[in-house]
Structure 1
Amino acid sequence: MSRAKYSEEFKEQVVREVIDKERSIASVAASYGLVAQTVGN
């Protein structure tokens, strides 16, 4: 299984959803179709 490659811009956008908008990691992960652990890392 190969790992997905995400752009730096995409990663920053996801992190900002958690920090700036105070959304949970699980919520952000679900909205982007990601695994919560991936977002948490």
Structure 2
Amino acid sequence: MVGAKTPLLQPDHTLADYIKAPIMKLVLSDYQSKQLSALSGSQFP
């Protein structure tokens, strides 16, 4: 990807975006895993 090779030339991708993206993925995956565990817990008590 060109954006990954030249982050300084991409104004829409700031340093904050590079930092937030993985964090948001971790938060979402953690939230989804908690939702799945809650759903499975309610379905199979």
- Report the TM-score range of the alignment, normalised by the length of the smaller protein: 0.3 to 0.5
With normalisation by structure 1, the TM-score equals 0.34
Say which one has the larger Rg. Answer: 2
With normalisation by structure 2, the TM-score equals 0.32
Higher RCO structure, 1 or 2 (CA under 8 Å, sep 6+): 1
- Give the structure with the larger helix fraction: 2
